[in-house]
Structure 1
Amino acid sequence: MLPWSAELAGRVDEHVFTSELLRGNPLGDPHERPLWVYVPPGYDDDPGRRYPVVYVIQGFTGHLMMWRNRMPFRRPFPELADEVFATDEAPPALVVYVDAWTAYGGSQFLDSAGTGRYHSYLCDEVVPWVDANYRTLAEPGHRAITGKSSGGYGAMITPMLRPDLFGAFATHSGDALFEYCYLPDFPDAVRQLRGYDGDIMNWWNDFNSRVSFTKGEDSKLLEFLGYTACYSAADDGTPVLPFDTVTGVLKPDVWQRWLDMDPVRMVPRYAGAMQSQQAIWIDGGTRDEWYLDVGAQAFHQALLDAGVKEDVIHFELFDAAHGAIEYRYPLSLAWLCHRITP
C-alpha cells in the first residue's frame, strides 16, 4: 500500500469546463470548473469502439481535487475505480468526475435561485460535452450516475428528473427521509444562532472573517445554510430557513418545500422515471450518524411500492458509519458497468 499516488492502468484527462449556465451565478462562484474524464485501458487501441459512461458526483463541501485525498492505509477512489477495469472486474467504461462545489458548500445538484443552475449544468452542458468529445454510448441505458451523501442524493434525484439521460444509478448513504437526517438538528441550530441574533447570515459573515471551522457551530450552520439555499431560497436567492430561529417552531410552508425534494417522497411523483431504470444500487452504513441507512430502507421500499422490479435493485446495509466508506464505491461501479454495457 503506497503512501503516495500510484500509476493508473487507464488515464485521467483533466479539462477546464466553461459553463454558460453557471456564469453569473448568485454566489459569484466560478463558471469555469475542473472536469475529469477517466479513460479505461484499451480505449485508444480500438477507435471504433464506444463505451458506457458513469458520472461521479460528490457530497456536501466536496470539490474535484478531493478525489486525490489519500488517507493512511487507504486508496482514493480514482485508483480503486481504475483497478476495477485493470483487473477485468467490470467491462470498460468512461468515468466522469463532475465538480458542483459552491461557496455554501454544495448545490445538491439542483437548480436554485440561491446557488445557481447546477442540475442544468450537469445535464444540459456536461453530459452533451462528454458525448461530443469521447466515444460514448450516448443513450440513457448506457449512462449511470453515482455518489455518496449529498452526492447520493444527487444520484437519486437526477434520474428522476432526467430519465432521458440516465438509466442507472448508485446511491451510497444518500440524503433521504428528511425528518430523520435533517430535522433532528434543527434545535441545535436554534441554539447556535442565539449568538448571531438569530440570523444565519450574521454567522456567515463571521465565518468568512476568520479561519473556517474554528468555532463549534461552523459545520452544522454551514450545512443548514447550504441546504436552505438549495431547497428553500426566495426568488431573490435569499436562503429561507424552515424554522423560526428564535422559537424553533417549524415554518410549515418552508419545511414542505424541503419535504417535496425528499427522494422518498419524490418517488411516487416520478414512478415512471424510476420504472425505466435498468439498475439501481442503494446502500448505507448501519451506524450512519444521520440515519441514512433508515433513509435507504425507506427509499428502497418507495421504489418497490412504485412498481420498480426487485431484480433491478441491489439493496444492502453494511456495518459502518457515514464516513470512510470509499471502499463501497468500486463495488457499485462494477455492478453498474455490467448492467449498462451492451
Structure 2
Amino acid sequence: MKKLILLTAFLVAIHIPRLVSAQTALQGSVERIKVHGKGLEGNLEGNSADPEVSIYLPPSYKKDSKRRYPVVYLLHGFTDNDAQWYGLVKHWINLPVIVDKVFAGGQAQEMIIVTPNAYTRSGGSFYSNSITVGNWEEYVANELVSYIDQHYRTIAKAASRGLAGHSMGGYGTMRIGERYPKVFSSLYLLSPCCMVPGGSRSPESLAKIEAIKDPADFNKADFGTKAALASAAAWSPNPTKPPFYTDQIVENGEYQKMTETKWAANSGLATIDQYISNLKQLKGIAFDAGDRDQPIASNIKILHQILDNYKIEHSYEEYQGDHLNKIGERIEQKMLPFFSKNLSGQ
C-alpha cells in the first residue's frame, strides 16, 4: 500500500507541471491601446479623439508568428466601457476568462476580439455619427478596422470579420452591420436596445431630463435620464445649444415632437427596410434576449418577423433570463460558436 501511495504521488507530481503548462498555453492575452479617429476630432462634447481599445489576442497569437486570424468587433453597452468587459476593472462580466474557456475546450476556432471604449460625456455614443458625440459609426466601420488590420495579424476581408454587441452595442451592431456589408459579414446582437421608438415620457421623467442643466448634474441622474441625454447627443445634435449641444426631448416644459421624430428615425426597426439588400449579403445574422428583458425581448421578436418576411436567414432565440444574467453564457455557448462557424479562417 505504501509503495502504491508513493507511486501515485510521483505520477501526480510529474503530471501537474504538464497540466499547468497546458492551461497557460491556452490563455490569450489582452492589450489596451489608443486608436485615433479622424471623425471623432472636434466633437462638441469634448470626448477624446483617441479612445482606448481593448484587444483580446488568442492563445496561439504570440506563438505562431505566421498565423492570421478572423476578428470579432464587440461593442459594449450604455454606461459601460471596454476595460470593464476585459477584466481590467471589476464588472459583471470578464470576457477573456469566457473566451479562454471556449478556446481551451475546442468549442470555437481562435479569433481576435476588439472592443473600443465608446463611453462618452453623456454615457455612450450609440455608435452613431453626430457632431456632438463624434462620428462613431464611421470610426468603428472604417478607422478602427483599418488600424487593426494594419497593426495585427488579421485576415483582412469581410468574410473574416464579425460584429457583435450587447444592449447599446447590440443596437450599434445592427446599425453599423446593415450599412457596411463589405466590412462585416456576420452579426450577433445580444439583447439589443433601441429597436423601436419609445421610452418614458411621463411628466415626471420629462422634468428629470430638463433638470439636468450642466454636465456635472449628469452623474447624479438615473439611468433613464442619462439615456435621454445620450440619445439627444447621438440623434438630435444642435451646435448652437451649449452646454449639451442638443435638441432635447423637453424644452421650457414642452415636449418636443420633432426631437422625438429624429430619435424614432434612428431606431433599429425604423431603418431596416432601407438596407434589406445589404442584409441579404451577410453570411450570418443572429440575435437573442432574455424573456424577462422587456421590451427588448418583444422587440427582437418583431425583428425576427421582419427578417422572415424578407426571407433573410437568421437565428433568433428568447431564453430564460434578464438583461445581464446570462450574457456570459450566451457569449460562450452561442456567440463564439456562431462566429467560428460563419467567419472564414483563411
Smaller-chain TM-score bracket: 0.7 to 0.9
Q: Please state if 1:132 is matched with 2:175.
A: no
Query: Which AA in structure 2 matches 1:81?
Result: V
- Structure 1 moving runs of 4+ over 4 Å: none
In structure 2, the residue matched to 1:335 is: 338
SS of 2:182 mapped into structure 1: coil
Q: Matches of 1:263 and 1:218 in 2, distance apart?
A: 24
Greater C-alpha radius of gyration? 2
Deviation at 1:42, TM superposition (A): 1.7
The farther-off stretch of 100-109 and 82-91 is 82-91
Q: Matches of 1:263 and 1:98 in 2, distance apart?
A: 21
Query: Which AA in structure 1 matches 2:204?
Result: R
1:1-342 counterparts in 2 under 5 A?
9-67=27-85, 68=87, 69-70=89-90, 76-179=94-197, 182-183=198-199, 185-187=200-202, 190-194=203-207, 199-202=210-213, 204-205=214-215, 207=217, 212-213=219-220, 217-234=221-238, 236=240, 238-242=245-249, 246=253, 248=255, 251=257, 253-289=258-294, 291-309=295-313, 313-327=314-328, 328-330=330-332, 331-342=334-345
Q: Is the contact made by 1:207 and 1:218 (CA closer than 8 Å) also made in structure 2? A: no
Query: Which AA in structure 2 matches 1:186?
Result: R
Q: Matches of 2:114 and 2:323 in 1, distance apart?
A: 24
Deviation at 1:117, TM superposition (A): 1.1
Q: Matches of 1:149 and 1:245 in 2, distance apart?
A: 31
Q: Matches of 2:175 and 2:30 in 1, distance apart?
A: 27
Change (3 A) 1:337 1:132: same
SS of 1:316 mapped into structure 2: strand
Q: Matches of 2:74 and 2:207 in 1, distance apart?
A: 38
The farther-off stretch of 165-174 and 115-124 is 115-124
Q: Matches of 1:65 and 1:75 in 2, distance apart?
A: 11
Deviation at 1:129, TM superposition (A): 0.7
1:42-99 CA-partner distances (Å, limit 9, x unpaired): 223433322110011111111121112546xx76122101221122110111111211
Q: Which runs of 5+ in 2 are unaligned?
A: 1-22
Q: Matches of 1:75 and 1:65 in 2, distance apart?
A: 11
Deviation at 1:113, TM superposition (A): 2.0
Q: Matches of 2:47 and 2:83 in 1, distance apart?
A: 16
Q: Matches of 2:215 and 2:187 in 1, distance apart?
A: 38
Deviation at 1:193, TM superposition (A): 4.6
Q: Is the contact made by 1:77 and 1:326 (CA closer than 8 Å) also made in structure 2? A: no
Change (3 A) 1:225 1:39: same
Q: Is the contact made by 2:210 and 2:251 (CA closer than 8 Å) also made in structure 1? A: no
Deviation at 1:142, TM superposition (A): 1.1
Q: Matches of 1:75 and 1:123 in 2, distance apart?
A: 25
1:307-333 CA-partner distances (Å, limit 9, x unpaired): 312xxx221101112123332222212
Q: Is the contact made by 2:210 and 2:250 (CA closer than 8 Å) also made in structure 1? A: no
Query: Which AA in structure 1 matches 2:59?
Result: P
Q: Is the contact made by 1:151 and 1:174 (CA closer than 8 Å) also made in structure 2? A: yes
Change (3 A) 1:335 1:163: same
Deviation at 1:18, TM superposition (A): 2.8
Deviation at 1:232, TM superposition (A): 1.6
Change (3 A) 1:194 1:40: closer
Change (3 A) 1:176 1:224: closer
Q: Which runs of 5+ in 1 are unaligned?
A: 1-5
Q: Percent identity?
A: 24
Change (3 A) 1:193 1:139: same
Q: Is the contact made by 1:54 and 1:143 (CA closer than 8 Å) also made in structure 2? A: yes
Deviation at 1:192, TM superposition (A): 4.3
Task: Please give the TM-score of this superposition, normalised by the length of structure 2.
Answer: 0.83
Query: Which AA in structure 2 matches 1:339?
Result: N
